[in-house]
Amino acid sequence: MKNIMFIAPPAAGKGTQAEMVVEKYHIPHISTGDILRDISKEDSEIGSYVRETLASGGLVKDEITYSLIEDRLQKDDCKNGYIIDGFPRNLEQAIKYDEILDKLNIDIGNIILIDIDKDILEKRITGRRLCEECNAIYNINEENSKPEVDSVCDVCGGKLYQRSDDNLESFQNRYNTYMEKTAPIIDYYKKKHLLHTVDGNLDKEQVFAQIERIIEGK
């Protein structure tokens, strides 16, 4: 199976779609955001740096991100394909990613852009909740994404929490950063004929159906 990369603005549903891909195709999900959120819980200098950067909506330093990606891609579970989301986030990171893949002899695979309107993102951002234990994602404002019991994860019973950056102010920062820094990588991959676009305004099953067609080459 080909590797997959998701590109999408914040709260476009890439984490949710990644969970669905993992469940159906049994490949690991590498989310730089998830890895950094784990680091941000550490009681260390790097933990507190990452914690502050995440809360502000800015980007974590490249040297931290590059080494965590390079280490993660060498793990055995990536041999039969993986899905990466949250990286690369700017042109520099995209060029560095090409170098890392070359060095490790890994094919970049399919790149999937989740295209979605900004007003839908704003509605989603305030309702998003994550499981502390297994990172499962819910949305308390959407009937088909609510947990069965308030604040409790359906999957593992863990406690749900709201990300420190899931507020409108931080969202606006992250959205501006996406438009300014991440959007240029769309052209970069378009020129290499690697980009597929799906309509992210639809419900999650319809978005997933489009992703399945890309993965299965239909």
- Binding-site ranges for ligand AMP (CB under 6 A): 10, 32-33, 36, 53-54, 57-60, 65, 86-87, 89, 93, 165, 174
- Could you give the C-alpha distances from 38 to 33, 51, 54, 101, in angstroms and in order? 9, 10, 11, 24
Whole-number Å distance between alpha carbons of 16 and 137: 6
Give the residue with the Cβ less far from ligand AMP, 52 or 117. Answer: 52
Q: How far is the CB of 161 from ligand AMP (least distance, A)?
A: 14
Give the active site residue among 89, 96, 124, 129: 89
Q: Is 192 a catalytic residue?
A: no
Give the residue with the Cβ less far from ligand AMP, 80 or 176. Answer: 176
Coil, helix or strand at residue 112: strand
Give the active site residue among 51, 72, 146, 163: 163
Give the active site residue among 96, 124, 128, 129: 128
Q: How far is the CB of 196 from ligand AMP (least distance, A)?
A: 20
Q: How far is the CB of 92 from ligand AMP (least distance, A)?
A: 10
Q: Is 14 a catalytic residue?
A: yes
Q: Are 171 and 122 in contact (CB under 8 A)?
A: yes
Q: How far is the CB of 125 from ligand AMP (least distance, A)?
A: 10
Q: Is 89 a catalytic residue?
A: yes
Helices (H) and strands (E) in the chain, counts: 9, 8
- Could you give the C-alpha distances from 121 to 83, 115, 138, 200, in angstroms and in order? 22, 11, 14, 10
Q: In a 10 Å sphere around its CB, with 0-12 CB exposed, 13-18 middle and 19+ buried, how is residue 68 labelled?
A: middle
Give the residue with the Cβ less far from ligand AMP, 19 or 150. Answer: 19
Q: Are 53 and 59 in contact (CB under 8 A)?
A: yes
Give the residue with the Cβ less far from ligand AMP, 74 or 148. Answer: 74
Handedness of CA 127, 210, 193, 69 (dihedral sign): positive
Catalogue the active-site residues: 14, 89, 128, 163, 174
